Every structure is written in structure tokens, then in C-alpha cells.
Structure 1
Amino acid sequence: MPAPVTRDDELELVVDSLAYGGNGVARMNGFVVFVRRGLPGDRVRARVTKVKGRHAEALAVEVLEPSPLRVEAPCDHYPACGGCRFQDLAYESQLSAKEDQVRDALVRIGGIADPPLEPALPAESIFRYRNKLEYSFTQTPSGPALGFHKAGRWDEVLDISECWLTTELGNRIREAVRNWSRGTELRAYDQAEHTGFFRHLVLREGRNTGQMLVQLVTAPGDYPRDSFVAVLRRFPEIRSIHHSVNERPAEVTNLPTTLLWGDDAIEEELCGLKFRIRPNAFLQTNTAMAERLYRVAVEYAGLTGEETVWDLYSGIGSIALVMAKDALTVWSVETSEESVACAIENAELNGITNAAFFAGDVADSVAELRERSGDPKVVVLDPPRAGLSGKALRRLGRIGVPRIVYVSCNPTTLAGNLKQLRADWGYELKRARTVDMFPHTPHIETVALLERQD
């Protein structure tokens, strides 16, 4: 049966809910239309942008009747900026929508009829919560500027005067770097033409220590390094200044760095422990909620002090080190060698001697890890958005660990992994909880506890 709409049709729709990813969900006689910029309860006029067999995508061009859930967005750059999607949706509704999306994924994809979901943990702060921001340079008539990509565009960057997700300090440092760049006569990199010099600015902030790390990413070439460092040294919070060169067209910041000034890392404190953070090391970007997420993970692990624990995809060792005091031993694997170096350093910094860290691919490391540690009693997983690979899941399943604590940043891949772990390896979902790390965005963190059934 052909779709009842065609591209560029204008439709009057009522948005029922939010789908995972942030688009509104509307229906025409059962046919689903995903509406960008549509919020639950809105009646909108929307232009169809894409038609597929079972659904269509559309863009809301006019709100005919606003939802009672709408609020005034405080940011002057909203909704043009691609950094936030839901500043105009009441926070309680954002949280409820994320909880519903996790439940839907577990039911629809995971095949779990009645998921044991516990009440979602709301964010402690819905603004000024990020400890890391990556800005892109763009060229304007006034010279280089710094901001974020416009919503839905890879080739246009919006000049930002204030970001509501970072701190006042972060905003001031970004403005200082922008003003310095305009005095250099160098241009911002043009992604379409592959010309220009300035590419990105990365700011990492220890929210509990007040320390700041700065990383400037440029194309190859010379620049006034001394004046750049001098501008940043006016901020006493800045402890570490780095420079990276990106010779490729791809827009990336995870690059080797040259230390320009200060320490090679900054310190952060989480759950009573100290952590050293280098430019490319992974740490959850919401410090306050990371602490709450780790506490949920520890609670789900149910440690008594007698367990061998594996922490797979361990980053800088934050979860492993938080759990170490309640475990017999913790064994961790992480692909990033820089993060592993930080983890080893962090263990020494905190006087923790029962945690070991290894660099490698998780799927390829399971057999060797088992030879070193013996069979684990608890495995903690914190995989990337794509979830566990088939090979990693099979090798983990064969071990038969009694308890798995799965920290997920994507409810659809979490649900898919859970379905396979249930069907092939006898695991059942016992507890799950959504932790809102990223207000005003579609991103969702979930902690799940799986137990193997005899």
C-alpha cells in the first residue's frame, strides 16, 4: 500500500509523543509521521521532507496551537543552534518522555512485556551542567567566531555569544579565544573549501576542583603561540593548554596534542576520589549526574567485598575505582591507551591497589582477561552508542557471569543486546533506571541489572 503523503506536502498534525532521537510523533489514520520541532500536544503545520514505506519525516513550519507543555527557552540562539533540542519543553515532560522511550525500547525491541523500570533520576541542574564543550570556528565579516553547528547542518556554524550548557567561566574563555583569534589575521577553517586555519576549541572543566583544560585544534601552519598562551593565563583556573593539528577534512578533536603550557592534565573529584583528565580521556560530561549514575551502578552490582569484577569499556577508570573499595579485585579493559594511562595514574593517585587496567579491544581481550583474573562474579559494561558487538556479546555470554550491570547511552541498542542475552545466554532484566545526564537533548543514559537464571 503506498504512503498517503508525498515529499513537500504540507500537513496539519497533532503531535502525540516524542520518539527516541527527539522528533515528535504524529499519525494520519495510523500512518506515522515524525515531526522535527514538534512537541507533545502541539498542533502544527508540517512540510514532508522524506517518505518511507511505513513512515514519513516532516518539519514543523508553523505551530498552529502550542502545547500546554511548552515553556520559554532562555537561550537567544535556540532553536537555530543544534546543541539543544528541548529548551522549549517543560523539564518534567522531557524526563517523562525519556522514561517512556526506554520503556518502549525494552518492550518493542527487547521483548520484555513489563520492564522493571524504577523512577528516572532527574538532573540536579538543567542548565550549566556540562564539563566539556567542543566549539567549531567559523568565519564571519568580523573575523573568526566560535560556536556550534546549526540544527541539521554540517556546513554552517552559529556564532555563540552565550551557551547555557556551560559555566560562566567557560563562556568567558571562549570569548577570550575568539577575540584573540581575530587579532591574528588567520581565518577559520572552511569545511567546504578545506581552507583556513582555526578549526576547534575544546574546553574541559573540573567542576568540583575549578580546574580548566584548553585544547586548540588547527590546520597545519604557524600561529602566535605565545600570545595565545598569554591570553589564557589571565584565567587562574586554566591549568593545562594544548594544541592539536588536524590535517584531514574530517571534523575531529580526538587527536595527539602538544602541551603548550602548564600540567598535562587537570584533576577532578568524583565520589570522594581524585581523577586526572587529559585532553582525549573519556569522562561523563555531566559531573554531578555521573556521581549519581555511579552510585546506581554500585547499588546494582551488590558487592560484598568477595567479588572479582570486570569493568569493560572503562574509560579513565572512574566506575572501576569507585567499585574497588567494595570488591575483591577489579579488572578493566578500554580501547583508548590515553584513558588507560589515566586510569593507572588515578589508581595510584587514590592509593587503590586492587584494580588493574588494560588497553585493548573488549571482544579480543575477554579470553586473556579470564586467564589473568579467573571467572568474574560481576561484569560492568559501559559500551559506546552502538552497544556490544556480536563477538563481544557472545564471548561474554559463554563465560556465564552471574550478574551484569549495563550502563547504556542508547536504549535501542541496550534493548537489542538484552534480547540476545536473554534468548541465547539465559539472562533476565531485574532492574533498570534512566539517569538524565543531558537535559534539553535527546540523549538518554540507562543503568540495567541482568542476572543469569539457572
Structure 2
Amino acid sequence: MATPTTHRVPRPRHGDELVLQVDSIAQGGRGVARANGYVVFVSGALPGDRVRARLTKAKRDFAEAQAVELIDPSPDRVPDRCLHGGEPCPGAPWQGLPYRRQLDEKTKQIEEALRRLGKLDGFELEPAEPAAQEWRYRNKLEYSFGEHDGHLALGFHRRGSWTEVIDVEDCLLASELNNAVRNKVREWAQREGIPAYDRRQQAGVLRNLVVREGRRTAQVQTRLVTAPASFAKPPVDLHTVVEGPGGGTDGPTGVLGEEFLAEELAQLEFRVSPTAFFQTNTETAERLYEIAAGYAELSGRERVFDLYCGIGTIGLALARRAGEVWGIETVSEAVADAEENARRNGIANARFIAADVRLGVRPLLERTGRPDVVVVDPPRAGLSKQVVRRVIECGAPRIVYVSCNPTTLAPNASQLTEAGYRLQRVRPVDMFPQTPHIECVALLEK
């Protein structure tokens, strides 16, 4: 008797195009679909969409793909508002989701990360704090120069491409002022005949333009990154930075106008250097800091350690309610800003130290004694194991963790619970509407 033959469905390969039904959203914002049991993560697709997608990566257990055609849109989709040359804005991949659904998805992803990755439970997941504005909320945008239809373009990279640049006239994530500055720089570059830099050919001049504004002060800080070249003075004040062929910054070639941006946040004045980190959504950042302050439960006597303090935004906002605040930050330029910001706001109970957080906590602990509250606001990579150990050594009864990545918050919170802390509350704060980026504040106590 012949043995029946089993036919395995061949796995898709790189470059294949598949018709997929997207049923959910993964961490990071990509749609999730299945092809004969094979999981495919699809960029540019939302739950309920039926799309044609091209595979950009094929692994044993999963694949990654880019949607190339929307065959049948989800019934939940809303029309895209931010378009460039008829294409959806690459910076607003979730604009097709109703805003309430965006908040629900972000909340769900935070909970999933904490429960699945962190193996945590018993915490209160509070309702998401919506953004103060759903559109035109960004105080900073970075644009790329390129060639489009034979002309110099200034805008965003086409989704899925690092070589094609979409020209932008009006991005609804940016303010009218930001858009006007970008368009003026492009007009100047086109008029002067200055070419975009081509990384493959290592030829050309213009690389990137960063436009940052003080939402409360109407000041603009504009940073132009170029290859070595000389050209006529631009029509707007630019902080110009030269990069060599390998991308290394050789340093500023000159500063036109004010090098520092002034901004107001949480009833404080801040000086912001060109490369310093500052929350991109000024209005919603105020609410973020209010939530962090509420979690800290300060009475005016506490000692607070502010790790990854940046230019001092959180620390100075807390200093008015604390006995003393000590901030640690790796970037010395940011620490200089923090010290200046304390001075200009008349805050005498805040001190800032330029040091690697891994190395700076122990000396500070020996100098001041145990803090009552530790605030951490790390980059997307979260806290390293060594920094987690230093936080535990502080012995603070309360830790306030400001996170921009729930998939790194989860293991960090798990490590802290193993040391005797308990995750009490988590509050999503939507700093980035129309995008999958997630911010939240977590409280751990022991």
C-alpha cells in the first residue's frame, strides 16, 4: 500500500507579492496577517485591510512586507488627511485609524507588553491621556534633501525607501511656521542651484534640515546638515553643520542668529541647544510631567534623583514640590542647558551632574544619601541591567518610570519587582498622534 504524499505549501520568499488580510497590529505599529499559517508583519496596513504586499524579509517563522496596494480598505478606516503628492505622509502611518482606536491600540500594546514580556499583573492600567492636539503638534521635524522628478526635493523618505524623497509642501504634523521655514529653505536651495547629497555617489551638498520651534515663544531653531561646501547665505537663520563622506560631523561651520532656542513648559523657561533632547509635543508633555509629579507624591521635603535628566525639564518641574533634586545626564551639553535653566527660573534646590548614569549613581548616593523618589526617563533601549542594579541600590520607596517603549519598560519593571518593588499604576500618554509611537508613565513602590 502506497504511503500518502503530503504536500507542504512552500514558504514565501523575499520579493514575493501576496494578497493578505490584516487582522491586528503588532508592537511597533505594523499590521499582522497570515498566509497558510505563516505570520507576515505588514508595513502600511491597518487591521481589516486587504492588501497586496511585497515581502522585504523572509525568515523561517515569519516575514516582513510592505503594502503596495490597498485592495479592500478596513470598514473602520478614515480618509487620510496628510498627503504629499497624493501619497500618505510617511510620518503619520496611523492616520487611517480613528483617533479613539489609536488610543485603544496603544493601551492594549502597553498591557500586552507588561503581561506577556514582563510577566506582570496586579497593576492598574489607567485610561490613556489623549494628545492636546491630534494634528500640528510637533515642535521639531527632520527633513531630507533628495531629487524628485528632476528637481531638488525637501521632505520625507518614501515609506520603505532610504533613497527616494517625497517633496513636502504642508505636513499636518508640523505647524504652519515650521512648514513655511522648510519651504523657504527649499526655495533658496533651488534658486542657488545647490544639489542634494547622494550617499551612494558621495556627491552633492545638502543632507538634512532640522526645524525646531518654541511653541510658546515663536522662536525657530533651524539646523542644516551639509557635505563640505560653500554657498550663499540662506534666507533664514541656520545653524550649519558639515558632515564628511562617512557621515561623521566635523563640527559647526558657523551659526547665524541665536544658537539656543527658548521655550516655555510647565510654567518654566527653558534654553534648548541645537542637539539637545526636548519633548516633541510641548502641550502634551506638560500633561506627562503633571502625571509624573502626581505619581511622585511630593510634599516639599523629598530628595529626588532624576536619571537621564536631559536639559532638566522633569527635574525642574518637580523641584518646586521637592526638597532637593539631583539630575544625572550623559550629554554634557544638555547638563549645561539644565544648569542654565535652573538659574533662569530661580530654582536653587536642583543640581545636575554630567556623568554616565551607570557610573554616576553610586557617587551621588554616597554624597547625598538615599533618595525618596527616583525618576527615570531613559531612551528607547530602556535601562541596562547595570542601571537597574544602581536604581535598586538607591533604595527609594518610589520609582517613577517615564517610558517611550513598552517592550523595554516591561523587562525593566520585571527586574525591579524581583528586587521587591511592585508595579502599581501605568498611564499611557499619547505624545504622538497618527503614529504607533507609545509613551507612558509607570509607578513602582515598595
Q: TM-score range by the shorter chain?
A: over 0.9
Query: Which residue of 256, 261, 277 corresponds with 1:282?
Result: 277
Query: Which residue of 344, 354, 363 corresponds with 1:359?
Result: 354
Cα deviations by residue, 1:71-102 (Å, 9 ceiling, x for unpaired): 11112226454322112221111111111111
Query: Which residue of 308, 320, 329 corresponds with 1:325?
Result: 320
Contact 2:66/2:160 (<8 A) preserved: no
Shift of 1:177: 0.7
Structure 2 residue 397 is the aligned partner of structure 1 residue 389? no
Whole-Å separation in 1 of the counterparts to 2:127 and 2:358: 33
- More deviation in 390-399 or 28-37? 28-37
Query: Which residue of 112, 135, 138 corresponds with 1:130?
Result: 138
Contact 1:82/1:152 (<8 A) preserved: no
Contact 1:434/1:446 (<8 A) preserved: yes
Matches within 5 A, 1:99-110: 99-110=107-118
Query: Which residue of 145, 170, 173 corresponds with 1:162?
Result: 170
Q: Report what 2:240 is aligned to.
A: 243
Whole-Å separation in 1 of the counterparts to 2:334 and 2:224: 20
Contact 2:122/2:424 (<8 A) preserved: no
Whole-Å separation in 2 of the counterparts to 1:11 and 1:209: 50
Contact 2:117/2:407 (<8 A) preserved: yes
Which secondary structure state, in structure 2, belongs to the residue aligned with residue 138 of structure 1?
A: strand
Structure 2 residue 39 is the aligned partner of structure 1 residue 32? yes
Cα deviations by residue, 1:88-124 (Å, 9 ceiling, x for unpaired): 2211111111111111100110101354210001111
Q: Report what 1:23 is aligned to.
A: 30
Which secondary structure state, in structure 2, belongs to the residue aligned with residue 310 of structure 1?
A: strand
Which secondary structure state, in structure 1, belongs to the residue aligned with residue 146 of structure 2?
A: strand
Whole-Å separation in 2 of the counterparts to 1:217 and 1:51: 35
Runs of 4+ off more than 6 Å: none
Which secondary structure state, in structure 2, belongs to the residue aligned with residue 161 of structure 1?
A: coil
Q: Report what 1:75 is aligned to.
A: 82
Whole-Å separation in 1 of the counterparts to 2:87 and 2:251: 34
Cα deviations by residue, 1:349-383 (Å, 9 ceiling, x for unpaired): 10000000111110111111112221111010000
Query: Which residue of 366, 370, 376 corresponds with 1:375?
Result: 370
Structure 2 residue 101 is the aligned partner of structure 1 residue 112? no
Structure 2 residue 438 is the aligned partner of structure 1 residue 441? no
Query: Which residue of 423, 434, 438 corresponds with 1:429?
Result: 423
- More deviation in 432-441 or 39-48? 39-48
Q: Report what 2:62 is aligned to.
A: 55
Structure 2 residue 404 is the aligned partner of structure 1 residue 409? yes
Identity of paired residues, percent? 52
Aligned residues: 438
Whole-Å separation in 1 of the counterparts to 2:438 and 2:87: 20
Contact 1:98/1:444 (<8 A) preserved: yes
Whole-Å separation in 1 of the counterparts to 2:148 and 2:43: 28
Which secondary structure state, in structure 1, belongs to the residue aligned with residue 83 of structure 2?
A: coil
Query: Which residue of 147, 159, 164 corresponds with 1:139?
Result: 147
Whole-Å separation in 2 of the counterparts to 1:163 and 1:65: 26
Which secondary structure state, in structure 2, belongs to the residue aligned with residue 183 of structure 1?
A: helix
Contact 1:433/1:446 (<8 A) preserved: yes
Contact 2:142/2:211 (<8 A) preserved: yes
Whole-Å separation in 1 of the counterparts to 2:405 and 2:441: 11
Contact 1:331/1:373 (<8 A) preserved: no
Which secondary structure state, in structure 2, belongs to the residue aligned with residue 119 of structure 1?
A: coil
Cα deviations by residue, 1:109-149 (Å, 9 ceiling, x for unpaired): 01013542100011111111100111111134664321111
Q: Report what 1:236 is aligned to.
A: none
Q: Report what 1:419 is aligned to.
A: 414
- In the superposition, the TM-score normalised over structure 1's length comes to 0.91
Which secondary structure state, in structure 2, belongs to the residue aligned with residue 268 of structure 1?
A: strand
- In the superposition, the TM-score normalised over structure 2's length comes to 0.93
Structure-2 change in CA distance of 1:79 and 1:103 (3 Å): farther
Whole-Å separation in 2 of the counterparts to 1:255 and 1:403: 43
Whole-Å separation in 2 of the counterparts to 1:11 and 1:76: 26
Contact 2:308/2:377 (<8 A) preserved: yes
Letter in 1 for 2:441: V
Matches within 5 A, 1:235-274: 241-250=238-247, 256-257=251-252, 259-274=254-269
Structure 2 residue 201 is the aligned partner of structure 1 residue 206? no
Cα deviations by residue, 1:187-228 (Å, 9 ceiling, x for unpaired): 111121111111111111000111111112111121113xx1
Cα deviations by residue, 1:6-28 (Å, 9 ceiling, x for unpaired): 22555444322211111112245
Letter in 2 for 1:179: E
Shift of 1:249: 2.9
Unaligned runs of 5+ in 1: 233-239
Contact 2:34/2:40 (<8 A) preserved: yes
Which secondary structure state, in structure 2, belongs to the residue aligned with residue 262 of structure 1?
A: coil
Q: Report what 2:3 is aligned to.
A: none
Q: Report what 2:5 is aligned to.
A: none
Cα deviations by residue, 1:260-294 (Å, 9 ceiling, x for unpaired): 33332121111111111120111000001110100
Unaligned runs of 5+ in 2: 1-7
Which secondary structure state, in structure 2, belongs to the residue aligned with residue 120 of structure 1?
A: coil
Q: Report what 1:6 is aligned to.
A: 12
Structure-2 change in CA distance of 1:136 and 1:302 (3 Å): same
Contact 1:218/1:244 (<8 A) preserved: yes
